[in-house]
Amino acid sequence: ESIVLGRDVVWINLPGDEIDELTRVMRLASEQFDVALPLPSIESIDRLSRSAFDHVWMVSVLTDSDHFPALHDELYERRGTDLATGRGSLANDRARAEVLAGRVLDAASPNALVTTSDEELELLRPVAHSRGLELRPIDGGRLSALVGDNVRSCRTVPVPSG
């Protein structure tokens, strides 16, 4: 979106080794190809103004096994299996996920595009509804390359009254 469409991209993530390495590589690529690439930021999402973004990409955020381990196990139906992380509190993870989802949706402009996985969509829908919004899918989705999650785009539209 940055290079082809000339759009501003704000990339927010949690601090850690992965983000440090991604930032380093993105800087190198920017220098090597003489192009300004958006760099990850670890600033708080709270710094974003309301209605600041018309496209929110939220894929593999609320299902992240490091930051939402119990929610990850629940959403992928892994509780009690060998694939479960066996960590975290589902109630705590869900509460933190709902707060984060609310902050993200608050930063989305009216009629914004929200790209997310089907698993995360189930968490985002009630949060959107609490803000008077519906997340209306505009496509059937496509499988992600790494883990095979269905990723789809939705529009934020006001919940019909009456």
Q: What is the pLDDT of residue 131?
A: 94
> What percentage of the chain carries pLDDT values higher than 90?
51
Which parts of the chain have pLDDT scores under 50? none
Measured between alpha carbons, how far is 127 from 124 in angstroms, rounded to an integer? Answer: 5
Residues 6+ apart with CB under 8 A from 65: 72, 85
Residue given tokens 């960590």 in the structure block: 87
The packing angle between helices 118-130 and 90-107, to 10°, is 70
